Structures are given as structure tokens and as C-alpha cells.
Amino acid sequence: MTQRQSSVTGATHDWGRDSGPEAILERIGVGVLRIADDVVVWANNRASEISGYDRSALDGVAFEDLFEREDDAEAFRRLRRKILVGEPSGHLDVQLRRSDGLVTWVRLRGSPASMGTSGADTLWTLDDVTDEREAMDELRLADAIFESSTEGILVCDTSNRIVAVNPAFNVITGYERDEVIGRHPDFLNSDLHEAAFFEEIWLVLERDGRWDGEVWHRRKNGETFPEWLSVVPVRGQSGTLEYYVAMFSDITKRKQDEERINFQANYDALTNLPNRRMLRDRIDRALARALHIQSRMSVLYLDLDNFKFVNDSLGHGVGDILLVDMARRMKSCLREHDTIGRLGGDEFLVVLPHINNADETSMVAKRLLEAVAQPISLKGRDHDIVVTTSIGISIFPDDGDTADDLIRNADTAAFHAKEVGRNTFQYFTDDMNVRATERLNLENRLRRALERDELVLHYQPKVELRHGRIVGVEALVRWANPEEGLVPPAKFIPLAEETGLIVPIGEWVMRTACEQAKRWQDSGLPMIQMAVNMSARQLSKDGIYQDIVGILEQTGLDPKYFELEITESSLMERADIAIAILRDLREMGVHLTADDFGTGYSSLNYLRTFPLDALKIDRAFVSDIGGDGGGAMLAAAVIAIGQSLNLRVIAEGVETPEQLSFLRQQWCDEIQGYYFSRPLPASEFEALLRSNRRL
């Protein structure tokens, strides 16, 4: 601090007397300095307090030397020159370094010292504005942060209306400021969260004073994106809620990175299938569920046959192509909740988390064998490649109760599959192997039965109760096996359903029955309806309507003499498709009956939507008429339902006079069963029809 000689002389006022100007300036509450030329010649106590210097220490000091920054000193000199020449001047905020080393903000206002002095004499007031400037700096900093933050910031009032957004909000959401001010922020909702999710946010805000979490929002262009959101309430000095501030960042990339890391940890890089780690997790989950609900699950170990030869002879590039194609094929054989993964090399594992019996696993294994064995065409090669696989199967709880046990036992079974000739599957236990072999043999024989015309139809009459005459007939398929004789439907129809053989069998039944009905009509027999059963697989087959139309046209049978019996469960399984197809058939004149009614969904709302002509009471209800199982009550209920919907009601499985009497009392329309006639070969049924036998 530079001390200079004061040049102030000849003042017209006495600045030293208590009653003079000095006394007045001491009482005004602001700092006052009198500066002659560029040095302090007088300071009041407040100026001393603000600067931190004693008044005696300020006397003769060059005021500019107290400034922290040279820019402030230059600005002070410019302002002082304006004052001295009488130009308008305002205030100047400068930083002073106090005697204790602290820096304080001071606001200076100057004027000429009109005290009759000579020289460059000015009078200055000093206000300590440190708090004000710090507050302003904080506001500027907050504003800078608000404007430059890469996080989106949204400010809402207590009515949850937007009052401010920052540029990052515009960048992330695509909305401009003018598009959102005054709006409720729910326009950002992605509809991926339930209302309870947002209710929880408000509860946490009220309880904890803050909420942080992941939210999916929607951009202006409709794209949904994940964000990390923090919401805090802002309260005034009195504690009154004033605003809600939401800060969020787009975490799309982070989520993608997490997904990539998770994929690398849990999936095979070549086939994109779950790896060994993920497979063990899936098995553990399936085991936990199976234990909880007391169900069964199975594991299939697949080892490609002769894959090493492909790799060695054609190269690893071809081997990789083959593995990817195998993975795709095998995955297509499974249900949505099943899992297939790659253990490594040419070994794969399939997890079936829920099975009702071992036969279901056999069906999956057979589909896998067929899919793998399809030829593979490769560019640049003249010949297709054919690869097969050997499959080992273990089942919980029979073959183990841990993932390690099930995998190990399935691997053992796969080894045995290779030993017995490859391109086959083996169960871990001998008993299951025997059953699987029997089932496979049965399927092969059933396929040959179609080719060898071993299927025959028997016909069971439907009798009208009112007049007791035959009004219709149901065609029932039988398998005349050369080795076993007549195989009952219960033994082969379920297998046909599972394997898909029911579709060609059903088509054969339909064509054969229509041909027979037309022959009977042409021979002059009574015109009765021919009924055949249709399965869910047939109903969902592409082009089934055209198939039926074609059969009727080719056989010449009028559609009004043709009836389809479809189980209630089949109708409900593909209701949307079934309704459309059945309406077309009904318009053509085909009669439609809901078979086994009462054993499935039994939904009247659905039932009303189907274009039905009749209901058939399940034989289980009829057989229980007169017993203690409530069959009579159920049969009566079905009859009442049918009558309320203006449908014919047919009771099947009628075997006793008591059953017949009850059904007559309930005004059932038709019966079918051994009481009148068992299913008959075509020639015997024709004789029955010619006899005009009545009930």
C-alpha cells in the first residue's frame, strides 16, 4: 500500500469538528471516502470497517492500490474522470483486498467534492455488496449449469405444470421450450408404466423428499427411451413447497452396453444361443418351479454325429455355418418357454421346464432329429451336407434333482444313443427307453397304415327321440392292424394328434365318409346326415375350408347332409380363426356340432359367437345318470343351455333304459350309443338303415 503526501489544502469547511460534515458522514451508515487526486484524505468508520484498515492507515493511501484486480482500478479511473468533468456516472462494483487478506465486493458511487477545494477532489460512498454479489454469482452459476448441463432439467410448479426446461431437455426429448411451457409433463409418458408406478413416485417424494429411478419416456417423434430420473421438491424459506425439479439423462447407451455385457456373459457368440452358464440358470429355475408345483421337467443333451469329420474335411468356416443353421433349426422345434443352448463345440442342451409325461419329451426329441437331418446346401459345393444328432434325455425327478445330475445323465444317455447307431434318442432309464421305442414303433406303423389302407370306418346311428327314427350317423375311424387286429381309437388318435398325422387321417375320414353317404343316398336309402369329427389341428390347417369344399364337390354330397363335430376345447383353442371358417361352412349349408360339451371352457359368451347347430353331451355325464356323480344334473344343464340357444342337443354313450328315460324327460333331441346300436361296419349299418328300425 503506497503512502503519498496529501495535497489537499485550503478547505472551506472544517472537517475536524464533530459538528461539521464529518459528523454527518459518520452517521449515514455507508462507507465514505474523500479522495484528492488519487489518494485517500479522509475516511469514516464504516469505510474503515469495510476495508479492514484503520482510518489512520488509510490516510494518504492510493485508493487504487487496494483493488484486487487491475481491471477494477482502470474502471475506477475512468469513472473518476467522468465525475470530475461533470458527466453522468453510475456505480462501480470492485473487489477490495482487506487488511486481513480477505476479498470483499464493494459498490462505489462518486461525486465531485463541492467543498471549495482545489485539485481533483472527489467524494465516494462504499457499500459492502459481497452477499449480493455472491448471490448473483450463485444465480449466474445455477443459470450456467441449467443452460449447459447435459442432463435434461424440467421445473414444474405446485400444480405440476412446466415452468422451465433447459436446452438439454430439448435435445433429449425433441420438444422446444414453447411447446411444453404450461403443460402437464404426462405427455412424455411412454405407456410402459402402470399408474401404480407413478403413484409410488409421489409417495416416495412425500416420504423421503426425493425420488431416483429408471423411467421409460417418449420423445416427440414417438420413440421410447430409458432415462435415469431424479425428482426433488424445492421449498421456500418458510418451508412452503414452491417447485418440483426433475433432472434426467438418456441412458440408452448405458442400457445397450449392459445388454452387450450381459449377452457376452450369458450367450454363445456364434449361435446367439444361451451358453453353459445361462443353461444352468434356466435348469435351476425350472427345477425350483417343478419342485414348487410338483411337476416334471426334462433335459435333452444333443451331440451332432460326425461333426469332427465336417470340420476336418471342409474347414472350420463351414463348420461354423453348419452350427448356426443347426441352432436355428433346433430352436424352431421348441415351444416359447423351452430353452436351447450351446454347451460348446457340437454339443447342445435343451431344457423343457414343464412336461406332463415322458411322451412329450419323445415328441420334441423326434422333431429335433428330423430338423437336424435335413440336408444343408452350401454355396460353391455340388453336394448337400447331411448331419444327424444323437440325443440323451434325463427327467426330473426320476433321473436327478440338480442341474449337474440332469446334465450328466442326459450326456450319458446321449452316449448310449451313439452306441446304438446314432440319429436317435435314448432315455437315461431302461424303462423309458422301452416306452419311447414302443411309441416310435407305433407312430411308424400308423404312418404305414395310411399308406397300406389299413384304416376303416365304422358308423354309429343317431336317433331322434321324438319319433325314434335314425336321422344321422357318425363316422368313427378304426385301425385294422394286420398283427394286432382292430386297434381302438384311444390308442392311436392321441398319437396322431401329437404327431400331426391327424390331418391326413382326418382328410381320409372326411372323404371316405362323404363317398359312403352319397352311395347310400344314390341307392335310395333315407337321406340322413353324415357326421365326422374335426380336430384342432385340422381346424387350424391352412386351406381347410377349401379342402372341405373340394371334398364335397368331388363326392357330390350336398353340404346340408354333412356335419362336422368339433370338441369344445378345439373351438376355443383358435377361436378367432375357428369362427371365421365355421361361418363360411355354415353359410354353405354344413351343419356344425360342439362335441363333448361341458368338459372344456363352457363359456356361454364364446358359445354364442360360434355358428352352431347342435351340442353333444359328453358321454361321461350320460354314463353317470342315476349315479352319485351329478351326471344327471350336468346333462340337464347342457340340455337347458342348448334349448335356450335354439340348438339341437345330442346325448352320446346312452347304454341303459334309465338313461334314455331321463333324457326323454329332459326333452333331449337325439341320442347315440350302445343302447340302440354299437358302431357298425358300412354293410351292417346299411342293413340297419334298410330295416327302418326305430327306438
- 322-348 pLDDT per residue, tens: 999 999 999 999 988 999 999 988 999
Window from 129-138, 368-377, 389-398, 648-657 with minimum mean pLDDT: 129-138
Q: What angle do CA 400, 403, 405 make, to 5 degrees?
A: 40
Over 60: is that where the pLDDT of 427 sits? yes
Quote the DSSP letter at residue 463.
Answer: E
Separation of alpha carbons 560 and 565, rounded Å: 14
Mean per-residue pLDDT, 124-149: 77
Over 50: is that where the pLDDT of 501 sits? yes
Question: What tens digit of pLDDT does each residue of 432-484 get?
Answer: 566 667 777 888 888 888 889 899 999 999 999 999 999 999 999 999 988 88
Split at pLDDT 50, 70, 90, the class of 7 is very low
Question: Which SS3 state, helix, strand or coil, does residue 689 take?
Answer: helix
Grid coordinates belonging to 191: 405407456
Question: What tens digit of pLDDT does each residue of 503-547 get?
Answer: 999 999 999 999 999 999 999 999 999 999 998 778 878 888 999
Q: Which residues contact 111 (CB under 8 A, 6 or more apart)?
A: 83, 122, 123
Report pLDDT for 117. Answer: 47
The answer to whether 509 and 475 are in contact (CB under 8 A) is yes
Split at pLDDT 50, 70, 90, the class of 664 is very high
Is-cis flag, bond preceding 88, omega within 30?
A: no
Separation of alpha carbons 473 and 349, rounded Å: 50
Grid coordinates belonging to 483: 398283427
Grid coordinates belonging to 666: 329332459
Separation of alpha carbons 282 and 267, rounded Å: 12
More confident residue, 596 or 352: 352
Split at pLDDT 50, 70, 90, the class of 11 is very low
Mean per-residue pLDDT, 282-296: 93
Over 70: is that where the pLDDT of 3 sits? no
Q: Which residues contact 384 (CB under 8 A, 6 or more apart)?
A: 375, 376, 377, 378
Over 70: is that where the pLDDT of 389 sits? yes
Angstrom distances, CA of residue 398 to CA of 33, 349, 352, 406, 511? 101, 18, 15, 10, 45
Over 70: is that where the pLDDT of 628 sits? no
Task: Identify the bridge partners of residue 147 per DSSP, sorted by sequence position.
Answer: none
Over 80: is that where the pLDDT of 71 sits? yes
The answer to whether 370 and 312 are in contact (CB under 8 A) is no
Over 70: is that where the pLDDT of 8 sits? no
Separation of alpha carbons 490 and 492, rounded Å: 6
Question: What tens digit of pLDDT does each residue of 340-384 get?
Answer: 999 988 999 999 999 988 889 999 999 999 999 998 887 766 677
**Sign of the CA dihedral with 312 first, then 314, 318, and 322 last:** negative
Mean per-residue pLDDT, 128-149: 75
pLDDT averaged over every residue in the chain: 86
Over 90: is that where the pLDDT of 254 sits? no
Residue from 659, 668, 665, 666 nearest 676 by CA: 659
Q: Look at the block and give the residue holding cell 415452468.
A: 163
Percentages of the chain per state (helix, strand, coil), in multiples of 5: 45, 25, 30
Separation of alpha carbons 336 and 511, rounded Å: 35
Q: Which residues contact 602 (CB under 8 A, 6 or more apart)?
A: 568
Mean per-residue pLDDT, 49-67: 88
Report pLDDT for 17. Answer: 43
More confident residue, 466 or 9: 466
Split at pLDDT 50, 70, 90, the class of 288 is very high
Q: Which residues contact 255 (CB under 8 A, 6 or more apart)?
A: 226
Over 90: is that where the pLDDT of 265 sits? no
Over 90: is that where the pLDDT of 59 sits? no
Over 70: is that where the pLDDT of 2 sits? no
Question: Which SS3 state, helix, strand or coil, does residue 220 take?
Answer: coil
Separation of alpha carbons 482 and 466, rounded Å: 42
Mean per-residue pLDDT, 278-295: 93
Report pLDDT for 443. Answer: 83
The pTM (predicted TM-score) of the whole model is 0.48
Separation of alpha carbons 218 and 253, rounded Å: 16
Question: Which SS3 state, helix, strand or coil, does residue 478 take?
Answer: strand
Q: What is the DSSP string of 258-327?
A: HHHHHHHHHB-TTT-SB-HHHHHHHHHHHHHHHHHHT-EEEEEEEEETTHHHHHHHH-HHHHHHHHHHHH
Report strand pairing: 91-97 vs 470-481. Answer: unpaired
Report pLDDT for 146. Answer: 74
Question: Which SS3 state, helix, strand or coil, does residue 405 take?
Answer: helix
The answer to whether 255 and 280 are in contact (CB under 8 A) is no
The answer to whether 331 and 324 are in contact (CB under 8 A) is no
Report pLDDT for 271. Answer: 93
Q: Look at the block and give the residue holding cell 444313443.
A: 417
Mean per-residue pLDDT, 166-192: 92
Q: What is the dihedral angle through the alpha carbons of 201, 205, 207, 210, rounded to the nearest 10 degrees?
A: 120
Report pLDDT for 216. Answer: 94
More confident residue, 570 or 79: 79
Residue from 364, 360, 329 nearest 350 by CA: 364
